[in-house]
């Protein structure tokens, strides 16, 4: 090895300085060359969507500023990743390359190849776990197999040692002389073309604060108060009862270990297995994130195909008009339309409403879950392949749980139950503002004079329901019967 080690820190979905094992290892060894490579084609067919790219732009901006301040400016390059890594290694005379692992099938494949090639060329490569509480292989059944049901997965996870304590930020960072010259060759951030044109991100800017500082602030605010009412409030789309940490987690602006231990500390530092109530409900959500990654890792085909193979027989309907209306929030079911419009506007949708709109697309319209997954992928700032796949397959009933097939959400009763005053609907479907809480979730069932008084002509100001839910429900049950009948024959 050369006398002075120079380590390339390849940033990916770990856009932070705090609790960053790859960065810390590099800094401990000597000088570092921080690098981000934009190579969307390498993640095909799940290249980052429009909302994700918007987030990524701002997150990179923040990371670059933080690194600049530390005297180690961030290098920015276009893919292919291997070419960029080799070139930078040569220019900066690097001896090591480090990164924190990602677990999407296409990325694993790419990283494996890159690692082999770099090793063969004499570079030392090290990868770290910076994105999960445990590696996807660490939690396994007694037979050593992957879990396919959440609850036993979670019990086993809790029996493991606590996830490692988060690492601090490196105290100091220093760069090799060659970094300055390489940095001069950076394209501008704008040149990556991540920002939308025309600019539709106005509402997103108003509520999100991408970057490590924004993530830490959001976590601090969450564990201060909403955490202690999480169990019930998380189901209320009209309130701010969720953590809203998902986009920060996806881009690694915040580590799950940092969240885990912040929650534990907030309830007195007990072992996680002894935590009950609201904090436990929230920790379970981190457990679901782990489970989603566990599943995608062990069943990599599920991003595109159902985990339960018999569902390949489900008679999905090709309905571009219905799909389009769903995407635009014009279904005539207020809670569904509100959710879809919130998504379009903020790049985010409340979790309870995600389940409702997903059930509606998949069960009422019988449009394939993959169409829904693709739309979410493009529009969510927190679009995450593992979570998106799990969520959609769960909604479609073809995923990793044997939930009863007859679980079909009723959009009207869900609306009444979880948005009891209609405030969520009023916020996102302003044409219904004047309807009372009693009428707002089912305008088509309201009396003509009620609608008239609210200034609504159905079909004109607000759509007629696209389906009769009771009929659509029966149709879905029939179609689902095909799946199990087909199996028996």
Partner DNA sequence: TTTTGAGTTGTTCGA
Partner DNA sequence: GTCGAACAACTCAAA
Q: Is 288 a catalytic residue?
A: yes
The answer to the question of residue 288 lying near DNA (CB under 7 A) is yes
Please confirm, yes or no, whether 260 is among the known catalytic residues: no
**Is 285 an active-site residue?**
yes
For residue 303, the minimal CB distance to DNA (Å) is 17
- Give the residue with the Cβ less far from DNA, 146 or 196: 146
For DNA, the closer of residues 54 and 376 by Cβ is 376
3-class DSSP state of 159: helix
| Residue at token pair 């998504």 | 343
**464: its two tokens:** 């007629």
- Backbone φ, ψ for residue 99 (5° rounding): -155, 165
Residues within window 64-93 making contact with DNA, judged by CB under 7 A: none
473 lies in the site for DNA, by CB under 7 A: yes
Per-residue contact string for residues 367-406; x = within reach of DNA by CB under 7 A: -----------------------xx--x------xxxxxx
Asked if 10 is an active-site residue, the reply is: no
How many CB atoms within 10 Å of residue 297?
18
> In the range 144-203, which residues lie near DNA by CB under 7 A?
145-153, 155-156
For this structure, is 316 an active site residue?
Answer: yes
Are 65 and 358 within 8 A, CB to CB? Answer: no
Whether the Cβ atoms of residue 59 and residue 253 lie closer than 8 Å to each other: yes
Closest separation in Å from C-beta 150 to DNA: 4
Local structure of residue 310 (DSSP, 8 states): G
Q: Does 95 bind DNA (CB under 7 A)?
A: no
Given a contact cutoff of 8 angstroms between Cβ atoms, the answer to whether 364 and 472 are in contact is: yes
Sheet holding 124-128, edge to edge: 75-78, 31-38, 6-11, 96-100, 124-128
Three-class DSSP labels, 360-405: HHHHHCCCCHHHHHHHHHHHCCCCCHHHHHHHHHHHHCCCCCCCCC
Stretch that binds DNA, among 116-124, 138-146, 313-321, 439-447 (CB under 7 A): 138-146
Helix axes 320-328, 334-346, angle to 10 degrees: 70
Minimum Å distance from CB 289 to DNA? 9
- Give residues 315-374 in contact with DNA (rule: CB under 7 A): 351-352, 355
Does 301 engage in binding with DNA (CB under 7 A)?
no
Which residues form the interface with DNA (CB under 7 A)? 141-143, 145-153, 155-156, 235, 285, 288, 308, 310, 351-352, 355, 390-391, 394, 401-410, 413-414, 417, 469-470, 473, 484, 487-488
């Amino acid at each position: 090895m050369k006398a002075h080690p120079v380590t390339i820190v390849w940033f990916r979905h770990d856009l932070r300085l705090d609790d960053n094992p790859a960065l810390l290892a590099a800094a401990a060894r000597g000088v570092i060359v921080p690098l981000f490579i934009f190579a969307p084609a390498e993640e095909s067919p799940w290249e980052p969507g429009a909302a994700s790219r918007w987030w990524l732009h701002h997150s990179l901006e923040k990371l670059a500023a933080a690194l600049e301040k530390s005297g180690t400016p961030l290098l920015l390059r276009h893919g292919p990743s291997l070419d960029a890594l080799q070139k930078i290694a040569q220019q900066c005379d690097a001896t090591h390359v480090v990164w924190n692992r990602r677990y999407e099938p296409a990325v694993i494949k790419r990283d494996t190849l890159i690692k082999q090639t770099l090793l063969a060329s004499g570079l030392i490569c090290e990868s770290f776990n910076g994105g999960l509480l445990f590696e996807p292989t660490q939690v396994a059944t007694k037979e050593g197999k992957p879990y396919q049901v959440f609850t036993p997965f979670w019990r086993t996870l809790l029996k493991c040692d606590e996830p490692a304590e988060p690492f601090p930020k490196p105290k100091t960072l220093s760069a090799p002389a060659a970094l300055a010259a390489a940095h001069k060759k950076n394209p501008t951030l704008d040149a990556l073309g991540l920002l939308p044109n025309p600019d539709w991100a106005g509402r997103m800017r108003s509520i999100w604060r991408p970057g490590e500082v924004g993530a830490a602030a959001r976590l601090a605010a969450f564990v201060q108060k909403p955490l202690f009412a999480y169990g019930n409030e998380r189901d209320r789309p009209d309130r701010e009862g969720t953590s809203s940490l998902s986009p920060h987690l996806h881009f690694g602006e915040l580590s799950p270990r940092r969240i885990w231990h912040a929650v534990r500390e907030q309830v007195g530092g007990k072992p996680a297995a002894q935590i009950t109530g609201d904090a436990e409900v929230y920790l379970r959500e981190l457990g679901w994130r782990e489970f989603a990654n566990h599943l995608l890792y062990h069943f990599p085909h599920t991003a595109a195909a159902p985990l339960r193979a018999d569902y390949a027989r489900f008679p999905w309907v090709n309905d571009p008009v219905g799909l389009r209306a769903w995407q635009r929030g014009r279904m005539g079911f207020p809670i569904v339309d509100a959710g879809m419009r919130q998504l379009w506007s903020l790049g985010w949708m409340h979790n309870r409403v995600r389940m409702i709109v997903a059930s509606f697309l998949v069960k009422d319209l019988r449009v394939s879950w993959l169409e829904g997954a693709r739309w979410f992928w493009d529009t969510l700032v927190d679009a995450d392949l593992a979570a998106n796949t799990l969520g959609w397959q769960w909604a479609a009933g073809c995923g990793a749980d044997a939930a009863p097939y007859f679980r079909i959400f009723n959009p009207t009763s869900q609306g009444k139950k979880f948005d009891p005053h209609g405030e969520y609907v009023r916020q996102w479907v302003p044409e219904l503002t004047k309807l009372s809480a009693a009428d707002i979730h089912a305008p088509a069932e309201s009396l003509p004079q009620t609608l008239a008084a609210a200034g609504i002509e159905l079909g004109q100001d607000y759509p007629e329901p696209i389906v009769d839910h009771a009929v659509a429900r029966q149709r879905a049950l029939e179609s689902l019967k095909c799946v199990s009948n087909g199996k028996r024959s």
